[in-house]
Amino acid sequence: MEFWLGASFTDTGEFLELARASERCGIHTLTLSDHIFYTDFATPYPYGRMRWTETTHWPDPWVTIGAMSAVTTTLRFAPNVYVAPARDLFTVAKQVSTAAVLSGDRVTFGVGVGWCAEEFAQTGQDFHTRGKRLDEMIPVLRDLWGGGRVEHHGRFYDFAPLSIAPTPAAPIPVYIGGDSDAALRRAARLGDGWVGNRIYTEAQLDEVLGRLSGYLKEESRGPIEIVAPLAVMPDASVYRRFADKGVTGTFTAPWWLATPEEKALHGDGLELKLATMERFAEEIIAKM
Contacts of 118 (CB under 8 A, 6+ apart): 37, 39, 41, 42, 43
Separation between Cα atoms, residue 19 and residue 24, nearest integer Å: 9
Evaluate if residue 92 carries a pLDDT over 90. yes
Omega within 30 of 0 (cis) for the link into 166: yes
Q: What is the mean pLDDT of residues 34-63?
A: 92
Number of other residues whose CB lies within 10 A of the CB of residue 58: 17
In the chain the first and final C-alpha atoms are separated, in Å, by: 7
Number of other residues whose CB lies within 10 A of the CB of residue 53: 7
Concatenate the DSSP letters of all residues of 141-155 into one string: HHHHHT-S-EEEE-S
Q: What is the pLDDT of residues 235-277, one digit of tens each?
A: 999 999 999 999 999 999 999 999 999 999 999 999 999 999 9
Q: What is the mean pLDDT of residues 144-148?
A: 97
Q: What is the mean pLDDT of residues 99-108?
A: 98
Contacts of 12 (CB under 8 A, 6+ apart): 57, 59, 64
2-287: which CATH topology? TIM Barrel (3.20.20)
pTM over 0.85: yes
